[in-house]
Structure 1
Amino acid sequence: MSLKKEISMNNPLVSIIIPAYNSFVFLPETVASALNQSYTNIEVIVIDDGSTDNTQTLFDNFKRKGVQCYKIKNKGASNARNIGLSKAKGVYIQFLDADDILHKNKIEFQIKKMLLEKAELSYSTWAQFSTNTTKHGVFRFKDYNYSKTRTGKELMASFGMDNWFMPVFCWLVHRSLIEKAGAWNVNITNNDDGEYFSRILYHSKKVICIDEILGYYRVLPTDSLSSLNSLNKFESAFKSYQLITELLKKDKNTDLLSYSKRMYYYLYMWAEKEYPSLSKKAAKEFDKLKANSFLSKKKKYWICIEWFGLFYGTIIYKNSVKILVKIRKVCRF
């Protein structure tokens, strides 16, 4: 083996792809977190997705630091990521949204463990912040064994039954998985990352976790469950869940469908107050899937759901709880 090839195997190039749209305020900090990695064999690629703010004025400074910068017509984050992939030369790919932050050791810690354990996919635990990463809320999921190595399918089943998830920046992906998963779906604008990584996970034979906070999710005023506030957003999320469900059904393992049930449940919850008809639509898809759910741990609620379906079962359960509360108050006198 040549020295050059041996070095590349032990020190593989990592491509960090950052799609940006009107991110002038946050992008410098995000790019800095990518450039300041303790693992130095990286390339940073910024794709400006037709921003209308001053994002492009940052490019000269970025380029002086070695960042590859491209401006394209606005076609959405998925298209921008696909453009980034077409430019990337790395053996490993790190996707990073323009307002999130990487810990300086993220790439190093993940690469070392992936090479040691011959894993094609890894993720880290994470935290969320609003202005300063030194003042963050740790976002850990209780009752989850982070040290356990899983296949991607086992991980998706755990997402469904243990009720947890990973943001896009947590993952580090070997290019072989990228090639198996295919391109980002440009027709999805909501949960595009969830749909894409379901394909990554579906093909993953070995997934490992670095149980350290190595990424920070920026919480903005628009980041809340109520941000799913338009018909287009609902329909896009709904479409992504349908695609994920179609993929998981190919495996004929009903445990996987708990992942889909989880997604439909939260879509039902998001639309419950503002869009009752859409909420009912999500509930029907939940009911169609003959699989278990993390909701089964709430035994009384789960019984109502199994008897009456998610939509009406939830109404019956909530009303019964209200009645019991009133009875208890009366009995106190």
Structure 2
Amino acid sequence: MKHEQQKDISVIIPVYNAAATLGGLIHSLLNEQAVNMEVIVVDDGSTDETWAELCAITDERLITLRQENQGVYAARNAALAIHRGEWVVFLDADDQITGDFLQERLRTARETQVDVVVFNGWHVSSTGERRHTVHRKQLYGQILTGYEWIRHCVRQREWPHYLWLQMVRSAYIRENNQRFQPGKSHKDILWTVQLATGNGRFYFADRKDYFYVSNPASITHRRDYYDIRAVSYIDLIAEILALSAQPQHRAIRCSLVRHALVESRHFLGLYRRKVDNPQVLRMQFRQRISLCQLLPGVNSLSDVFFFLKLVHKLCLPLRRQRVHTLK
């Protein structure tokens, strides 16, 4: 018999200055009367009317936490520490969902009896126009192990790491002792890689139940945030390489290194065109990551050209500087 405190689903929503959009999302969730849920909203130090909006909603299924600004990943960890759901869903406060969102996700999760279900969604403009689906190359209607999924994503060069696509069994999170690493960006990618390296059962549903609203004013597009994103990519690449070196992941070592090489492309894109402190970032990359570690991930002519470009950008300038100093 189910404990009376246990819920079917815990919905976790970190928020920061989301007063304009948060109410609509919460009411959409609470309108689903058929699902035994809890909605945990963590206000991460908002300075607008977000907390007042939350306090105005009187529903015992809504649980609110308030903390000083520590970042979105710390907010999610705070919710994970108290959640009671059999399944966990992560949402963002400024996006939108379809009707019967939770009921349909729960039905799929129970029918497939897996550890993680990955759904689909739409990229939507700020005016509401549907642009394209979030992913197109997943093995819909199939169950894969985490290792099989990693190999597939690397082969297809499509890694659907978005948290709001996932529905994760709480027992699987606990079994893998999984939490979000502190930081400001890209820890959702690491969370998903770690989910997959747990090698549980994953199911892929091409149900487009989430609308990811593109926001040009988002912090990730701010000029002063590019260096922070670049540092986060360095952390991410180093962590993936560390996972690849663990003996239990020997079977997917090459795939993990190839994925680290893909993330290195993203780092280099920021480094070459957008960051303010390339010298500092170059040194941080070299301190954390050996290019020799990435070499096993080279798998195509395109990878060869990229790897040479990476060497040129991150190594040759330093050598030239040393030569100039010696003169």
TM range (shorter): 0.7 to 0.9
Would you say the 8 A contact 1:19–1:97 is kept in 2? Answer: yes
- 1:181 is matched by which residue type in structure 2? N
Q: Deviations over 1:224-283 (max 9, x none)?
A: 975474433321231133122212331123123222111111111122113455479769
- 2:49 is matched by which residue type in structure 1? N
Q: 1:241 matched to which residue of 2?
A: 237
Q: 2:148 matched to which residue of 1?
A: 154
Distance 1:234 1:215 in 2: 28
- 1:82 is matched by which residue type in structure 2? N
Would you say the 8 A contact 1:121–1:204 is kept in 2? Answer: no
Would you say the 8 A contact 1:24–1:54 is kept in 2? Answer: yes
1:193 aligns with 2:188: yes
1:184 aligned counterpart, secondary structure: coil
Would you say the 8 A contact 1:157–1:257 is kept in 2? Answer: no
1:84-99 equivalence runs, <5 A: 84-99=79-94
Distance 1:233 1:305 in 2: 20
Which of residues 103, 113, 118 is equivalent to 1:118? 113
Would you say the 8 A contact 1:161–1:292 is kept in 2? Answer: no
Would you say the 8 A contact 2:11–2:89 is kept in 1? Answer: yes
1:62 aligns with 2:57: yes
Would you say the 8 A contact 1:110–1:123 is kept in 2? Answer: no
1:185, distance to aligned residue in structure 2 (A)? 3.6
Change over 3 Å in CA distance of 1:37–1:218 after alignment to 2: farther
1:52 aligned counterpart, secondary structure: coil
Would you say the 8 A contact 2:124–2:211 is kept in 1? Answer: yes
Distance 1:224 1:78 in 2: 15
1:47 aligns with 2:52: no
Change over 3 Å in CA distance of 1:61–1:286 after alignment to 2: farther
Q: Which consecutive unaligned segments of at least 5 residues does structure 2 have?
A: 314-327
Deviates more, 1:153-162 or 1:208-217: 153-162
Deviates more, 1:209-218 or 1:31-40: 31-40
Q: 1:165 matched to which residue of 2?
A: 159
Would you say the 8 A contact 1:109–1:210 is kept in 2? Answer: no
1:291, distance to aligned residue in structure 2 (A)? 3.5
Q: 1:19 matched to which residue of 2?
A: 14
Change over 3 Å in CA distance of 1:221–1:206 after alignment to 2: same
1:187 aligned counterpart, secondary structure: coil
Q: 1:291 matched to which residue of 2?
A: 296
Would you say the 8 A contact 1:280–1:311 is kept in 2? Answer: no
Would you say the 8 A contact 1:129–1:219 is kept in 2? Answer: yes
Q: Which consecutive unaligned segments of at least 5 residues does structure 1 have?
A: 314-333
1:16, distance to aligned residue in structure 2 (A)? 0.1
1:75 aligns with 2:76: no
Distance 2:130 2:290 in 1: 36
Distance 1:139 1:264 in 2: 25
Q: 1:273 matched to which residue of 2?
A: 273
TM-score normalised by structure 2 residue count: 0.80
Q: 1:130 matched to which residue of 2?
A: 125
Would you say the 8 A contact 1:15–1:45 is kept in 2? Answer: yes
Distance 2:76 2:241 in 1: 23
Distance 1:185 1:209 in 2: 23
1:150 aligned counterpart, secondary structure: strand
Count residues with an aligned counterpart. 302
Distance 2:312 2:136 in 1: 30
TM-score normalised by structure 1 residue count: 0.79
2:150 aligned counterpart, secondary structure: helix
Change over 3 Å in CA distance of 1:19–1:142 after alignment to 2: closer
- 1:47 is matched by which residue type in structure 2? V
Deviates more, 1:277-286 or 1:247-256: 277-286
The root-mean-square deviation of aligned C-alpha atoms, in Å, is 3.1
Distance 2:117 2:136 in 1: 19
